[in-house]
Amino acid sequence: MNWYYHSRDPHYKTPFGAVKTNEQVSLRLDGEPSALVELLLYLPEGPKTVPMHWDGTAYRASFAAPGRPCRIGYGFRVDGRYFGAESGAAHFADTPLTYGLTVYDGAFDTPEWFRHAVVYQIFPDRFFCSDRERFLRAAADYRAAGRSIHVHGSWDEEPYYKPHGGAKEYVPDDYFGGDLNGIREKLPYLASLGVTCIYLNPIFAAHSNHRYNTADYLSIDPLLGTNDDFKALCSAAKARGIRIVLDGVFSHTGDDSVYFDRYGRYETHGACESKDSPYYPWYRFYEWPKTYECWWNFETLPDVEENEPSYTEFIQGENGVLKTWLRSGASGWRLDVADELPDSFIRGIRRSIKDQDPDAVLIGEVWDNCATKQGPEGRRGYVNGDELDAPMNYQFREPAIEFLNGRKDAFWFAETQNRLLEDYPKPFMDACLNLLGSHDTERTRTALTGIPDARTLTRKQQLAHHPDAAALARASKRLALGYALMAVLPGVPCIYYGDEAGMTGMSDPLNRGTFPWGREKTALTEQVRALMKLHNESDAILSGGIRIAAIGKQTVCVIRKSAKETLILLANAADTQVRAALFPGLFREGPDAVEPLDLAGTYIDENGEAIAARSVLSVTVPANGYRILRKS
């Protein structure tokens, strides 16, 4: 008899995936009745052996998860030989191979409104300018203070990407005039897309167009408007059922800031001017005031000491940055470079915002698997239940781009997503911010022309990339297919401004062009609009179970099923159409796999056509396209 175990098959492990503290875990291992079988647990306090008992059909054991959040390993020993694997089905080996198991705080939950949201990310300077004359006056004030600023003469110009104005290297000091009132004017458009949450890149006073070099955390950048303009935006958005999430840059400040004041522009004394400054303890000077610790060695971005009590109070305190902007109308925060913030600091941020508004959301920029990510002090606590509500889900984005470009097959893509379902607590998984592009990646339509990751290319190579019309047309199909996956998979869809309009561009700053008002790829926009409408209205997506499986080399099937509805997405990344056949035996993995899959019934596809099925469902899926079938 073959020995067999599969960590994602509910027949072998219950409950599926991550477990709550102290929760009972039951395991089954198929094998032969005469063997000596032991369950090996690798706990934070050390290894533990649990005998497994033959029940007449299989070996079984159960154990209680640890009483505090952690990540444990487990595997099996059969007659002295190790049997296990990192994920999926197991095999014998001479050394221990363990499965991973996430243990999280059983009281952890994420805001329901966010789990059901559609998010739209906006780079404020590039979305819409409401008042050109107001912007030019603000730019003149900026220049009068001795700061470099270049104002584009036309909204349709390309962002600067070469040194300009006599500078020896590129600096992000060119502006188009997008502002907060411009976003407010475009709320009807965002609402038409099904957007229920706006994530804004930094909006606080700073001296670059990206504003990740904060100058004043408590003031809106004058180029964008005023503090009252922010309140007006939040109020108008709320009236349309849209919430606002802000970008918090708390690992560093700008050197030209009220806190550091490297150039002596402010009336108060910054850390670079006086050791008596209240801000001096925030920074790590090697030789004051000339040398100091910087973010990734950029002298314009001095690092802060997050656990310095006065800085912690400034950010997290009752009158601190977090609560001030929540009181002004924000509904949450996104933490820039969360993996560079201490866990204790993130826990403090969570306590602060939840104290102000229990429904506020906390998102972290984490590119890696949040359950297994390691830091200088060991495993990071993102999924423990006392830190993040969700990450920016690059663990969806990067596999999706590889799959849609045909560089990885459907089996690999399904494995990556099933792995997340297994590793992440369900409240965390359902809140993951699923994205295909952001201000830190090349534009999605450009990425889907088949180029390598832009991070592996020089600027010269990026500028030399000019896809032809056929490649761009195929990329548009792939983009819509990516949004279909995003709309149906667990998590929160996130649209990077202008991706739905067909914008292109390589990495920063070419991915930060202006929204092409009046020049949108309207067919693509309509597809995205329809998919977000589906996401917002489908009971199966919002509350149903999930199964993901490859049903061909380049075809993935996602099934969402609730008591009211079954929804099936067939996603074909091949350049030719395929005939996809579904049958119950394909779907053994996932939290919903404990119930037999019944495919019988009549489905309605995305075009309103009825499709009947018995035990097998067979449909044609277009090249670089999808089919969506729904059964009530």
d(CA 397, CA 16): 24
Task: Provide the pairing of β-strand 119-122 with 70-78.
Answer: unpaired
pLDDT at 90 over 90: no
Widest Cα–Cα separation across the chain: 86
Whether 40 shows a pLDDT value over 70: the answer reads yes
C-alpha 586/C-alpha 244 separation (Å) is: 41
Q: For position 96, what pLDDT does the model report?
A: 83
Q: Cis (ω within 30 of 0) for the bond into 509?
A: yes
Confidence (pLDDT) at 86: 66
Query: What is the average pLDDT across 90-97?
Result: 81
pLDDT of residue 452: 80
Cα(461)–Cα(273) distance, rounded to whole angstroms?
A: 43
**Sequence spans of domains, the chain:** 13-104, 252-305
pLDDT digits 0-9 by tens, 323-349: 999 999 999 999 999 999 999 999 999
User: Is the pLDDT assigned to residue 120 strictly greater than 90?
Assistant: yes
Of residues 551 and 34, the one with the higher pLDDT is 551
Q: Residue 493: what pLDDT? A: 98
Is 70 exceeded by the pLDDT of residue 1? no
CATH number for the domain whose boundaries are 252-305: 3.90.400
pLDDT for 584 beyond 80:
no
Q: Which is nearest to 591 in space by CA: 12, 4, 15? A: 15
Q: What is the mean pLDDT of residues 393-398?
A: 98
Say how far apart CA 299 and CA 169 lie, in whole Å: 14
Residue tagged active-site, from 221, 336, 386, 402: 336
Mean pLDDT of 472-479: 97
346 alpha carbon, distance to own chain's centre: 17
Closest CA to 387 of 333, 437, 436: 333
pLDDT surpassing 80 at residue 594: no
Find the catalytic residue in 179, 229, 261, 365.
365
Closest-CA residue to 122 (of 161, 179, 206): 179
| Among the four given CATH numbers 2.60.40.10, 3.40.50.10860, 3.40.50.300, 3.20.20.140, the one describing domain 13-104 | 2.60.40.10
365 included as an active-site residue: yes
157 catalytic per annotation = no
Inform me whether the pLDDT recorded for 137 exceeds 80.
yes
pLDDT at position 614 is 86
Average pLDDT over every residue of 359-367: 98
Residue 55 burial by CB count (10 A; 0-12/13-18/19+): exposed, middle or buried? exposed
Mean predicted confidence (pLDDT) in 176-188: 98
Distances, alpha carbon 375 to alpha carbons 317, 384, 619, in Å: 26, 15, 47
Share of the chain above pLDDT 70, in %: 99
pLDDT at 462: 84
- pLDDT (tens digit per residue) in 269-284: 999 999 999 999 999 9
Question: What is the distance between the alpha carbons of residues 540 and 118, in angstroms, rounded to a whole number?
Answer: 16
Residue 589 confidence (pLDDT): 78
Put simply, whether the predicted model's pTM sits higher than 0.75 gets the answer yes
Query: Average pLDDT in the 165-171 region?
Result: 88
pLDDT confidence of 87, banded at 50, 70, 90?
low
Average pLDDT over residues 37-64: 96
The answer to whether 98 and 86 are in contact (CB under 8 A) is: yes
**The two three-digit tokens of residue 507, written as one number:** 């990495």
**What pLDDT does residue 335 have?**
98
Helical axes 469-488 vs 394-404, angle rounded to 10° = 140
